[in-house]
Amino acid sequence: MSNATVDRALLSPLNVSKEGLCKHTEYMVGCAACLLIDLRVDAEEARSQIQSLQTDLQDTQVSLQRPGLRQADHESLTKKFKELDQRLRDWTARQQGLRTLMTKAYRECAGF
């Protein structure tokens, strides 16, 4: 789906309407309001990934605590846990960066 076909009013970031930010109907490079739409979509993806990784981490941690776990399984689950934890940290950092960019773009749109 191209940026031009996305219903921009539904994806409006920070609960503001698109109409209050820009007057064009197609995506425009350099428009802070259009950038906000892209950032919002990216932030939603990050949120979804974070939730999924948190669930996977919890499941892996529960598996690690099972009694009678073979050494090979324990090592495999420990490796998986560390990988999931790093991916969670990466997505969390991405989400924080996106929030910063969204705030800057919103301020530019609002004329602060």
Domain residue ranges of the chain, discontinuous segments joined by +: 3-110
For the beta carbon of residue 13, count every other beta carbon within 10 angstroms.
Answer: 23
What would the pLDDT profile of 78-107 be if each residue is shown by its tens digit?
999 999 999 999 999 999 999 999 888 888
| pTM listed for this prediction | 0.71
The pair phi, psi for residue 53, each rounded to 5°, is -65, -35
Q: Cβ atoms within 10 A of the Cβ of 78, count?
A: 12
Top pLDDT among 5 and 60 is at 60
